[in-house]
Chain A
């Protein structure tokens, strides 16, 4: 096979000829074919004159800034290093197509960049999926009392914007007898809970096995990993919000502005595809706390829940709690008729 296979979309060029699914078999970065990356992805892309000029101008502006600071005699070494890192980061490829070494080097660059800018060390991981693991989640609607401790834990764990309503989890208060009809639910309640004659149901990203959000992404910045997690490369996302529109579950959030996280509250234990700091104009969502779950821990919401309404586990482990629940309790999933196959089950006592 030639090296000309395009695995990305570029302005003005035709659509991708061959789609590579990332969650089948080994991670796609390990595929034997040579995959273009970094400079190659940007520079070898066939393009027309108009978009070439556009790109050149954008590149020139950034390049000129970087060159002027990195070649300047008056600038400090740190400033030069920052512009070097920015240059490399600007031209890096899609995370999904990177080899393991490339993944590690972009993570190293981001850690170094944060250290240079904020004088603090963070711990960022590029850990891949564990073999024989498919994550699943169960939510007991009889147990949830609407305390919302899960949301607090989620916001802190995932470095979410403290200023806007970014929360990945929504807890809906629904009157008993109304059925699970979200339009009748109260999402803005603030009173002593549980309120009489009401029940509580939480929604978040369901990490569908057949995710519609992944299908619609024009730049393949979101995909399903081998362990079933639907993830986003925040550096590849162009912020078109197609995925937000495609999600039938209101699972995705958009950064309308630069997220504000106080420096002392930043969770330093990060993952490239998880809770690292985001920027303005990109999508984000629940990742089942990828930085925790790939370490064998439970997501922060599960740990924080005071009622034990949240159960997390490995669907491929026949002895796991979640498997027992799915096989022995009365479970249901939302909008099952859509065929999205969410890996998030609701059950009752």
Chain B
């Protein structure tokens, strides 16, 4: 008889350990996430956004989390390619007495006076609205980022060419903390959605490279007014 009771006790202990709710096994959300993500399969999103992005330059380095696409820049900049106007390097232009081509240069062959506005808005010089408000003039001038020899390119600190589409490589030379957070996803913005392929906004997508600080402005709407909600009805 006693043996029978022992067996019953052992059996009840064994079966009572089994919880019905599988989530309760984990004890905490973090443990559940850790366990359930072991056999994760990526979810692919249909790309229905209008953003043009480049999948070929996806891999920043070998870490899987850093594999993402970035939007193309050169198709957004309307004066690109730069050598439409800047046929000569800055050095050669300076010899002629200015940073820019003059009306008598060969770039202006066949251009009539009516077409001025296509390059010179309101007959001002090109880039008249660009003023550099980025660090101070000890650290930065135009030539810190723009290649003065081959005008279609940006330039690194060691004088290597950087494509306009890879402008993050210019920024990351100084802003290494932000770059590290950006490539991991804590800084910046996802563009197409949360699934694969990942597309991330570049530095210049949000920050004007000539004036990078995010500006003060008015909120786009009034905030809630709790008292009014209670007075309704």
Contact = CB atoms under 8 A, between A and B. Distances in A.
A124 to B, nearest CB: 18
Contacts of B181: 349
A298 interface: yes
A11 interface: no
A293 B195 CA distance: 10
Interface string A138-169: 00100001111101100000000000110100
Contacts of A187: 223-224, 226
Contact of B186 (A134, A191, A311): A311
A160 B21 CA distance: 35
Question: What does DSSP make chain A's interface, helix, strand, loop or mixed?
Answer: loop
A307 B214 contact: yes
B23 A170 contact: no
A318 interface: yes
A341 B33 CA distance: 12
B3 interface: no
A324 B21 contact: no
A115 interface: no
B22 interface: yes
B40 A148 contact: no
Q: Chain B: interface residue count, which band?
A: 35 or more
A154 to B, nearest CB: 11
Interface residues of A, number: 65
A285 interface: no
Contact of A132 (B21, B32, B41): B41
Interface string B1-34: 0000000000000000000011100001100110
Interface string B215-226: 011111111111
Interface stretch (B42-50, B52-60, B85-93): B42-50
Nearest to A228: B29
Contacts of A130: 43
B222 A190 contact: yes
B223 A193 contact: no
Interface in A300-345: 302, 305-308, 311-325, 328-329, 341, 343
A191 B41 CA distance: 46
Contacts of A315: 33, 37
B72 interface: no
A110 to B, nearest CB: 24
Interface in A165-216: 165, 167, 170-171, 187-194, 209
B184 A324 contact: yes
Contacts of B189: 302, 305, 308
Interface in B200-219: 201, 206, 214, 216-219
A149 B92 CA distance: 48
B48 to A, nearest CB: 9
A256 B231 CA distance: 10
B230 to A, nearest CB: 9
A128 B223 CA distance: 34
A149 B189 CA distance: 15
A306 B216 CA distance: 12
A192 B220 CA distance: 10
A314 B43 contact: yes
Interface of A: 21, 23-25, 130-135, 140, 145-149, 151-152, 164-165, 167, 170-171, 187-194, 209, 256-257, 293, 295-298, 302, 305-308, 311-325, 328-329, 341, 343, 347, 349
Interface of B: 21-23, 28-29, 32-33, 36-37, 39-46, 64-65, 181, 184-190, 192-195, 201, 206, 214, 216-226, 228-229, 232-233
Given A192-B217, A324-B186, 19 more contacts: A23-B23, A24-B21, A24-B23, A132-B36, A147-B217, A164-B228, A170-B223, A170-B224, A188-B223, A209-B29, A298-B193, A306-B214, A308-B188, A308-B206, A311-B190, A316-B37, A320-B65, A324-B65, A324-B185
